[in-house]
Amino acid sequence: MQIGIYAGFMRKARRLCLLALLGANGATAAALPAGPAGEAATAPGQVRLGAEDAAALRGRGYTAALLMHTSSEFSRALCAGAGAVFKELGIKVVAQTDAEMDPKKQRSDLETVLALKPDIIVSLVIDPVSGAVAFRQALRQGAKLVFISNAPQGFRHGRDYAGIVTDDLPGMGAAAAKLLADSIGGSGEVAVIHHAANYFVTNQRDAAVRRELARYPAIRVVAAPGIANPNDGEVVAAAILTQHPRVKAIYAPWDLIAEGVTAALRAAGRRDVKVVTMDLGAANALDMVKRGNMAGIVSDMPYDMGRSLATMGALAMLGRPTPAFVTYAATPVTPANLAEQWPLALRRPAPAALRKALEARQ
């Protein structure tokens, strides 16, 4: 893709980002789903920090830590968005961790980070039960907590944490189901891999995929295996192909699992089987553009989510009220809109290989 063309995409992305931050991202508070404890949803445009508030934070020596659940395009973009806000406010990010989807490692990461005494902690809690014990330590130390998608069990908004920022999770699942159905012409056998864990984000999305697929009378879900380790995607997909050789499409709960699924399909020579997943990732996007197995990806807005998380943490430092549950809309992505959605969601250019593949496809 020519630099001038890509710059045009970036300009359009910046305009669309502004609309999203103002709450014009296609979702209204009335239409948004409730949070894990039934919290009323708030559109992202409602999370604002005034000029006087920003001035009050600068020069105070506040610090923040970002405790991520995994390393991915989503995590990197979210941390970049949060980091940008913290930098604007003079809040130093003293730690950024990757728990590798392991609750024990996340607890160890937290204990290490607490030695640095951060004033604000942003995190996605992997296990709400064990996470409740771990994050109580942060509360006792006086840190302001802001969570991605779900909170530790028993934690109360306003008392224990500033708020939750997430996606329209049922909307993401419905969008994924439609992409899956469209990829096979609304008819045939499909497999729906679900995340085998008590995890609000994936539970909501996976359930919505099943609900939406039930609206297609000619589609039959022939397999719905659970997956706990995201690195097992290839093994799970290989078993699906063996047990259900007529399967036409597979849903994978997120990008890393989808990479394993497409690897299994390539190994089996099954270019005919389509895959749909969540969250933008370079490998899956490249496979999609090159007309591989990947049929579509549901993208959220991690950079902007990061900005909202940091803003909520800053408001909490000032004792300002913050919404309990902030929800961002998501976008189904195909090769037709990938060039625009990548910089919009991740706020950085697509990798060179992906840009080249998009240019070759035109």
Tens of pLDDT, residues 123-132: 999 999 999 9
How long is the chain?
A: 362
pLDDT, residue 5, reads 36
In order of 16, 18, 46, 115, 206, the CA distances from 11 in angstroms are 9, 11, 24, 42, 34
Are residue 264 and residue 310 in the same domain, yes or no? no
Q: Are residues 30 and 134 in the same domain?
A: yes
Position 336 scores a pLDDT of 96
Per-residue pLDDT band at 198 (split at 50, 70, 90): confident
The answer to whether residues 35 and 119 belong to one domain is: yes
81 has a pLDDT exceeding 60: yes
Q: Is the Cβ–Cβ distance between 81 and 307 less than 8 Å?
A: yes
In the chain, the number of structural domains is 2
Residue 161 DSSP class: B
Phi, psi of 72 (to 5 degrees): -160, 175
pLDDT number for residue 33: 72
Give the pLDDT score at 9: 42
* Between 11 and 322, the higher pLDDT residue: 322
Summarize the confidence of residues 26-34 as an average pLDDT. Answer: 51
Residue 32 pLDDT grade (very low, low, confident, very high; cuts 50, 70, 90) = low
Whole-number percent of the chain with pLDDT over 90 = 83
Q: Model confidence at 298, in pLDDT bands (50, 70, 90)? A: very high
pLDDT for 31: 54
Tell me if 228 is assigned to some domain. Answer: yes
Q: Please report whether residue 14 resides in a domain.
A: no
Q: Is the pLDDT of residue 1 over 80?
A: no
The arithmetic mean of pLDDT across residues 1-28, rounded, is: 39
Q: In angstroms, rounded to a whole number, what is the distance separating the alpha carbons of residues 65 and 278?
A: 26
Residue 6 lies in a domain: no
pLDDT digit string (tens) for 300-344?
999 999 999 999 999 999 999 999 999 999 999 999 999 999 999
Q: Which residue has the higher pLDDT, 5 or 299?
A: 299
Residues 147, 270 within the same domain: no
Q: Which of 146-150, 188-192, 201-205 has the highest mean pLDDT?
A: 188-192
Q: Are the C-beta atoms of residues 288 and 296 closer than 8 Å to each other?
A: yes
Q: What is the pLDDT of residues 62-73, one digit of tens each?
A: 999 999 998 889
Residues 307 and 161 both lie in one domain = yes
pLDDT above 80: residue 6: no
Q: Residue 109 falls within a domain, yes or no? A: yes
- Report the run of H or E that residue 221 belongs to, with start and end: strand 219-223
- Under 8 Å between Cβ of 18 and 301: no
CATH number for position 348: 3.40.50.2300
Taking 50 as the threshold, does the pLDDT of residue 141 lie above it? yes
- Pick the range with the lowest mean pLDDT from 27-36, 108-117, 145-154: 27-36
35 assigned to some structural domain: yes
Model pLDDT, residue 86? 98
pTM: 0.88
Specify whether 230 is located in the same domain as 180.
yes
On whether residue 8 sits in a domain, the answer given is no
- Per the model's pLDDT, the better-predicted residue between 87 and 17 turns out to be 87
pLDDT of residue 22: 36
Tell me the mean pLDDT in the region 19-25.
Answer: 37
Spatial distance between the Cα atoms of 17 and 8, rounded to a whole number of angstroms: 14
- Band of the pLDDT at 35, cuts 50, 70, 90? confident
Domain around 85: 25-167+301-328
Report, as an integer, the average pLDDT of 258-265: 98
- Give the pLDDT of residue 156: 95
103 shares its domain with 68: yes
| CA 55 centroid distance within chain | 31
Q: Does 147 share its domain with 181?
A: no
User: What percent of the chain has pLDDT above 70?
Assistant: 91
Amino acid symbol at 209? V
- Residue 149 located in a structural domain: yes
115 assigned to some structural domain: yes
User: Quick one: 243 and 341 in the same domain?
Assistant: yes
Residue 341 shares a structural domain with residue 194: yes
Average pLDDT over residues 289-296: 98
In a shared domain, residues 156 and 177: no
The confidence score (pLDDT) of residue 84 equals 98
Average pLDDT, the chain: 91
Give me the pLDDT at residue 220, please.
Answer: 98
In terms of domains, do 123 and 90 share one?
yes
Burial of 301 (0-12, 13-18, 19+ CB in 10 A): buried
Write down the pLDDT at residue 92. 98
